[in-house]
Chains A and B, each alone.
Chain A
Amino acid sequence: MGRNPLDLVGAEPGPARTFTFDGRPVPALPGQTIAAALWADGVLAWRTTRVGGRPRGAFCGIGACFDCLATVNGRPNQRTCLLPAEAGDTVTTQEGHGHADLAV
């Protein structure tokens, strides 16, 4: 019985890649989304809300809630639970909206 998820499924991933989160390097295993890599690094919040300025991160994990939005390589409103982390990605905390691009 595994003591962590990787042991449990006998994972032997390739070498981790690195992206930056608010300027700090964060490792991501190949195939992990940005949200997954942030969780693995102990980060649970990467957005602040428009009205209350409250911290938010991934909630639904499947692309439905839009709570996990971040600015990725300069583009705001990216659902990090869906986006695979690529080497060299620049991820920054999204302050408030950036909502202009989405019809909701």
Chain B
Amino acid sequence: MPTLPSEPARGRAPYDLAVVGAGPAGLAAAVTAAELGLRVALLDAGPRVGGQYYRHPAPELGAARPDRLHHGWAVFARLRDRLRAQPRIDHLAGHHVWAAERGEPWRLHATLGPDAGDRVTVEAGAVLLATGAYERQLPFPGWTLPGVVTAGGAQAMLKAGLVLPGRRIVVAGSGPLLLAAASSLVSAGAAVPAVVEAGSYLGYARGVAALAANPAKLVEGAQHGTVLLRHGVRLRRSSAVIEAHGTDRVTAVTVARLDADWRPVPGTERRIGCDAVAIGHGLVPQIELATELGAATRTVPDGTVALAVDGEQRTSLPGLWAAGETCGVGGADLALAEGVLAAYAVAGRPAPRGALVRRRRRRAFAELMAAAHAPGVGWTDWLTPETDVCRCEEVPAGRIREAVEELGAGDARTVKLLTRAGMGWCQGRMCGAAVACLAGGPTDRPDSRPLSCPVPLAQLAEPPA
């Protein structure tokens, strides 16, 4: 497995397949495709393969038991061994793809390294988009205080850097990632005074069949539950952190019960002391490389937008495939199955039955989870006019409401033009969901971003090589 962090792949014959993203989906796809005889480029912005789920410490940290922070580490270890043994894959680490160009071959433009210093172009006959997801955030007063971090971010910093943001961490928001994060945090020595879940989990009861068909997911959930029970962690359902307190860093949160629409119920507030908060409201597929080219999308039951794919993981654009969270958030097992299926399809081989069955079951489970954790419309009640909604441009909720109510902005795009919400460094990743809710427009339109990561101006001045 040659790792070529900085060598431009120019002047070489196009690859048969370029896989963007080396998480469970991309890794499974690349290995499978190479074993079926294809020449594969596996590009990832990060230094190591594994993506979010299998994020692990740098080798220099000398972790003897990285599996202690993971479910299914053995699955990853096997994939990594197959990758290492595979001469037909070039793992292009540290390559952040910022634009894809259709054609024969396709051309992927990437910047190199964390400071986006250099760039290369990679050519391939087919492209698989396995870029995963990022977390959905719903703002609340105090969420910009230091010590308030995303649930996935706490998980990522712990898994890769072996660090915690504090000693007493409230985990809050909605979705299964909260249980995974809380379970890792307590295992690593933090106290978790509460896991605060906005959903009621009653939604699960309606999907008994999907649950029964997914014993592995239930076991994983039960294992998190066992760890949390052993550490005396309380799960508060139908509740939310409605305010974080502190001046220069978080020192406490106010938690309140929510009604069925996620409106805080007056009189139910209670204060919990903490020195950190890990917050997240599910995940949003990261699909702008494809939507920019006009790929068809679908709306998932939790309101997020994913790429629409056929039974062979094909998007609406010839030559572009997708697998994993880009097709709708569904977890690592689903991502693995979709990666395998995409590889068979690109290679023109019949799909293995086992992967088909796993995909069907896990996808049904994912849609159930999405419905159970979809944000209720009442969450905006916990905002004050001063709450910053856009973290980058520091645009408070009051100004967004003014744009909507007084200036008539009816969708996120108009709000953005009037207030600058979503125009900052993160390109609306952190505030997009919230701005869409406040604007009252469709939440299901992928905001068209011309570039998938900020690129130094100097690089845009010249046409891509």
Measured CB to CB, the residues of A under 8 A from B are 1-14, 29-33, 35-37, 39-40, 44-45, 49-52, 54-67, 69, 75, 78-79, 81-84, 99, 101-104
**Mind listing 19 A-B residue pairs with CB under 8 Å?**
A8-B187, A8-B188, A13-B61, A29-B162, A31-B60, A33-B160, A39-B161, A52-B394, A58-B157, A59-B149, A60-B430, A61-B149, A61-B153, A61-B154, A64-B430, A67-B391, A103-B456, A104-B424, A104-B454
Q: How far is the CA of A71 from the CA of B261 in the complex (A)?
A: 43
Alpha-carbon gap, A29 to B164, bound state (A): 14
A82/B152 in contact, CB under 8 A? no
* Sample of 14 more A-B contacts, CB < 8 Å, known A59-B391, A99-B425, A103-B460: A1-B187, A3-B189, A6-B162, A39-B164, A40-B161, A44-B165, A54-B144, A55-B146, A58-B149, A58-B165, A61-B154, A65-B426, A66-B392, A103-B454
Q: Are B57 and A11 in contact (CB under 8 A)?
A: yes
Which 10 pairs show the lowest CB-CB distances between chains A and B?
A: A31-B58, A36-B161, A61-B153, A66-B425, A31-B60, A10-B64, A30-B60, A82-B114, A44-B146, A5-B162
- A2 vs B52: C-alpha distance in the bound complex, in angstroms? 22
**Given the complex of chains A and B, what is the CA–CA distance between A58 and B58 in angstroms?**
19
Asked whether, in the complex, the Cβ of B162 is within 8 Å of the Cβ of A11, the reply is: yes
Partner of A61, one of B62, B152, B457: B152
Q: Is the CB of B146 within 8 A of A45?
A: yes
Asked if B334 is an interface residue, CB under 8 A from chain A, the answer is no
> Contact: A62 with B152, CB < 8 Å?
yes
Knowing A39-B161, A51-B394 touch, does A9 contact B64 (C-beta < 8 A)? yes
Q: Interface range on chain B: under 10, 10 to 19, 20 to 34, or 35 or more?
A: 35 or more
Main secondary structure of the interface of B (DSSP, over half): loop
| Distance between Cα atoms of A49 and B392 in the complex (Å) | 8
Shortest CB-to-CB span from A81 to chain B, Å, is 7
Contact A12 B62 (CB under 8 A): yes
B249's contact among A2, A30, A45, A83, by CB below 8 Å, is which? A45
Tell whether A36 pairs with B157 under 8 Å between CB atoms, given A44-B249, A102-B425: yes
A5 near B158: Cβ-Cβ < 8 Å: yes
A29-B61 in contact (CB<8A) = yes
Known: A2-B187, A61-B152. A40 touches B163 (CB 8 A): yes
**Binding stretch for chain A, among B32-40, B65-73, B405-413:** B65-73
Contact assessment for A11 and B157 in the assembled complex, using a CB-CB cutoff below 8 Å: no
Contacts A11-B57, A44-B249 hold; do A65 and B391 have CB atoms under 8 A apart? Answer: yes
List B contacts of A81 (CB < 8 A): 153, 157
Q: Which of B45, B63, B454 contacts A102 (CB 8 A)?
A: B454
- Chain A residues with Cβ below 8 Å from B333 are none
Contact of B248 among A32, A40, A45, A104 (CB under 8 A): A45
B313 at the binding interface (Cβ < 8 Å)? no
Is the Cβ of B426 less than 8 Å from the Cβ of A66?
yes
CB-nearest residue of chain A relative to B453? A63
Residues of B within 8 A of A11 (CB): 57, 61-64, 162
User: A60 contacts which chain B residues (CB < 8 A)?
Assistant: 134-135, 149-150, 152-153, 430
Q: From residue 172 to 230 of chain B, which have CB atoms closer than 8 A to chain A?
A: 187-189
In the complex, what distance in Å separates the CA atom of A44 from the CA atom of B167?
Answer: 13
Q: Is B347 an interface residue (CB 8 A)?
A: no
Contact assessment for A14 and B394 in the assembled complex, using a CB-CB cutoff below 8 Å: no
A45 to B465, CA, bound (A): 38
Nearest to A79 among chain B residues (CB) is: B114
- From A38, which residue of chain B is reached at the shortest CB distance? B163
- In the complex the two chains form, what is the Cα distance from A82 to B189 in whole Å? 24
Contacts of A65 in B (CB 8 A): 150, 391, 425-426, 429-430
Q: Is A62 touching B163 in the complex (CB atoms < 8 A)?
A: no
Q: Which residues of B contact A49 (CB under 8 A)?
A: 394
Among A29, A45, A99, residue most surrounded by chain B Cβ atoms (within 10 Å) = A29
| Distance A24 CA – B144 CA, assembled complex (angstroms) | 25
The answer for the CA separation of A47 and B314 in the assembled complex, in Å, is: 43
> How distant is the Cα of A35 from the Cα of B456 in the complex, in angstroms?
22
B59 interfacial contact with A, CB 8 Å: yes
Residues in B whose Cβ lies below 8 Å from that of A79: 114
Contact B164 A5, beta carbon cutoff 8 Å: yes
Interchain CB contact under 8 A, A9 and B134? no
Shortest B245–chain A CB gap in Å is: 15
